[in-house]
Amino acid sequence: MFQSLKIYFKNQQLKGKLKQSQTAFSVVLPDVQKGASVLIVDDKLPEYDKDSGSRRLNLIIDILLEQGIQVYLMADKKEYKYDTSYCAYYQNKGVQVYFPSIDAEGNLVTREGFLERIVPQVSAVWLHRPLVFAKYIDLVRSLNPNAKALYDMVDFHYLRMKREAELKSNDSKLLAEAERFLKIEQANCEAADTIIVISSLDKQNLMPYYAQTQKMTVVGNIHDFITDTRGQLSFSDRNDLLFVGSFEHVPNIDAVQYLRKHIMPLVWERLPEVKVTVIGSNPKPEVLALHEKRFEILGYVNDLSEAFCTHRLFIAPLRYGAGIKGKIGQSLEFGLPLVTTPIGAEGFDFGKVADAMIADSPSEFAEKIITAYTNSTLWEAIREQSETTLQPFSRKVLTDNIVKAVR
């Protein structure tokens, strides 16, 4: 009761501010004559420059628009906490984006009000991440039983959480949370018309828990190899190691701590001059505490191109996770050789150079860093493999799956 009153009064305050600023509801409703239309709901407006999941969704939106599909976008945030900083970016693409506003009668347009206007008119609803799907599917069905409901798993959360629990001595709380998510993900799969899995491997991992593979469509991360090599330095002109990853994602925190405490001391015994650059949005205190001369925590960087073009080696010592790792794909886009773990390599075919790129223990990881860092022939071989590895993730390959999922 108290929480409901709190939200009510905060929304009343917001309504007053929006009236003063004359922030009017201006979303154009779907035009049936123009064909398919899709509403996408995520937990936030996709921060395409900060995390892999948002980057993927941003590219999916581009593909939908290119195919003439009308796109609507809403973030699952309370109206008075709504962050509109990415709103203009998507509006400029041609996306109709929800943001708190005032309708012609002077009422606050809430998320529910937006959905009541839009959902009856769209042909598909793409619900991104497990908790978002679980929260909105019943409302979507009540507003438009004929709209195609797509459940985008992003990754198999149960598997990621289970792996984390196992890594941490079968932590009982983590195992319980993993089981809770498994129930949510199974219910979501049952309720969805189409299940978006991020890789064929994630599809295989899901099958023991939900067997209706005819409902599953693979839409992975989208990566195109960059053929323009201007600005990309040669092996001899490059230096140092690079890690990229959002620190809102807990596996990245663990990976950086593991790298600094267990891998780099072994590397520095033989290559004391090598430095590590760590880039990623929202670095937590435990990550910032690792900062030193040879282990630089940069935090958020708007344009990663220079980093990928000038560092000699990319490293991703991920100890748990699930799905396709966007950081691996980004490194391959630039042809930057990398070393990762079996978890990081999931879903990628590294061909004949796989053995040089995948390591499990700290000593093996350090050894493969040193070898790839110092052997120019091996470095070039890994670089040459990048384009082939990325072919299944190209925009051209994935466009058909995205369009079929919506139509």
Q: What is the pLDDT of residues 191-201, one digit of tens each?
A: 999 999 999 99
Is the same domain home to 310 and 209?
no
Report H helices in 111-156: 111-118, 130-143
β-bridge partners, 316: 340
Beta strands (DSSP E) in 11-159 are 37-42, 70-75, 96-97, 101-102, 108-109, 124-128, 148-152
Torsion angle of alpha carbons 348, 48, 128, 161, nearest 10°? 60
Query: Is 7 domain-assigned?
Result: no
Query: Is 5 domain-assigned?
Result: no
Does residue 33 surpass a pLDDT of 90? no
Does residue 27 surpass a pLDDT of 90? no
Q: What is the pLDDT of residues 352-366, one digit of tens each?
A: 999 999 999 999 999
Query: Is 294 domain-assigned?
Result: yes
Query: So what's the pLDDT on residue 80?
Result: 81
Does residue 31 surpass a pLDDT of 70? yes
What average pLDDT does range 288-317 have in this prediction?
Answer: 97
Query: So what's the pLDDT on residue 106?
Result: 87
Is the same domain home to 185 and 308?
no
Does residue 2 surpass a pLDDT of 80? no
Measured distance CA(224)–CA(12) in Å, rounded: 47
Query: So what's the pLDDT on residue 198?
Result: 95
Is the same domain home to 151 and 175?
yes
Is the same domain home to 194 and 240?
no
Q: What is the pLDDT of residues 254-294, one digit of tens each?
A: 999 999 999 999 999 999 999 999 999 999 999 999 999 99
Query: So what's the pLDDT on residue 74?
Result: 97
Measured distance CA(40)–CA(27) in Å, rounded: 15
CATH for 106: 3.40.50.2000
What average pLDDT does range 32-47 have in this prediction?
Answer: 93
Query: Is 244 domain-assigned?
Result: yes
Is the same domain home to 55 and 174?
yes
Rounded to two decimals, the pTM is 0.93
Residue 71: pLDDT band by 50, 70, 90 thresholds? very high
Query: Is 6 domain-assigned?
Result: no
What is the 3 state secondary structure string of 281-344? CCCCHHHHCCCECCEEEEECCCCCHHHHHHCCEEEECCCCCCCCCHHHHHHHHCCCCEEECHHH
Does residue 9 surpass a pLDDT of 80? no
What average pLDDT does range 286-312 have in this prediction?
Answer: 97
Residue 21: pLDDT band by 50, 70, 90 thresholds? confident
Query: Is 241 domain-assigned?
Result: yes
Beta strands (DSSP E) in 23-90 are 37-42, 70-75
Measured distance CA(101)–CA(82) in Å, rounded: 11
Give helix 172-191 / helix 157-167 axis angle, nearest 10°: 170
What average pLDDT does range 311-340 have in this prediction?
Answer: 97
Measured distance CA(247)–CA(51) in Å, rounded: 9
Contact 200, 349 (CB under 8 A): no
Query: So what's the pLDDT on residue 281?
Result: 95
Does residue 1 surpass a pLDDT of 90? no
Query: Is 297 domain-assigned?
Result: yes
Residues with Cβ < 8 Å from 175, sequence gap 6 or more? 162, 165
Is the same domain home to 215 and 326?
no
355 CB neighbour count, 10 Å cutoff: 9
For residue 183, give its domain range.
15-223+396-406
Is the same domain home to 379 and 283?
yes
Is the same domain home to 244 and 379?
yes
Is the same domain home to 39 and 176?
yes
Residue 154: pLDDT band by 50, 70, 90 thresholds? very high
Number of domains in the chain: 2
Q: SS3 helix, strand, coil % of the chain, rounded to 5?
A: 50, 15, 35
Measured distance CA(81)–CA(8) in Å, rounded: 13
Query: Is 95 domain-assigned?
Result: yes
Is the same domain home to 218 and 345?
no
Query: So what's the pLDDT on residue 22?
Result: 72
Query: So what's the pLDDT on residue 16?
Result: 74
Q: What is the pLDDT of residues 202-228, one digit of tens each?
A: 999 999 999 999 999 999 999 999 999
Is the same domain home to 141 and 185?
yes
Locus of tokens 């505490």: 289
Contact 189, 202 (CB under 8 A): no
Query: So what's the pLDDT on residue 18?
Result: 74
Is the same domain home to 326 and 382?
yes
Residue 151: pLDDT band by 50, 70, 90 thresholds? very high
